[in-house]
């Protein structure tokens, strides 16, 4: 059983990821998550397939790629996303509070 090596670029860093040819895109994303903490559902992999976004169930062997294959990851770690959402909620509550005070 062979493997496919990916060179993943993300936030000015580079990671090498090896996955078996029988792996799915979802399994590749899980490996990337272990290195970056970017949740698989928030990952956008650029350069994985030309002109289309393969589904998570797609086998990497069916993409016609050669090792090493360079891809770019777009996405934020879960902690940063959660902090952003928390701050947005705080800001939203402040706007609602201020609007309520202005009406009275």
pTM: 0.77
Torsions phi, psi for 41 (to 5 deg) = -70, -10
3-state helix vs strand vs coil in the chain, percent to 5 = 45, 25, 30
Helix (H) or strand (E) holding 29: helix 25-36
Torsions phi, psi for 88 (to 5 deg) = -60, -40
Would you give per-residue pLDDT tens digits along the chain (104 residues)?
Answer: 699 999 999 999 999 999 999 999 999 999 999 999 999 999 999 999 888 889 999 999 999 999 999 999 999 887 776 776 677 777 676 767 665 555 55
What pLDDT shows up at residue 25?
96
């Amino acid at each position: 059983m062979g493997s496919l090596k990916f060179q993943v670029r993300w936030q000015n860093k580079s990671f090498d990821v090896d996955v078996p040819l029988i792996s799915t895109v979802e399994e590749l994303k899980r490996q990337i998550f272990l290195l970056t903490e970017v949740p698989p559902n928030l990952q956008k992999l650029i350069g994985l397939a030309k002109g289309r976004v393969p589904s998570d169930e797609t086998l990497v062997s069916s993409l016609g790629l050669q090792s090493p294959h360079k891809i770019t990851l777009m996405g934020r770690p879960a902690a940063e996303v959660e902090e952003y959402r928390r701050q947005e909620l705080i800001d939203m509550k402040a706007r609602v509070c201020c609007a309520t005070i202005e009406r009275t």
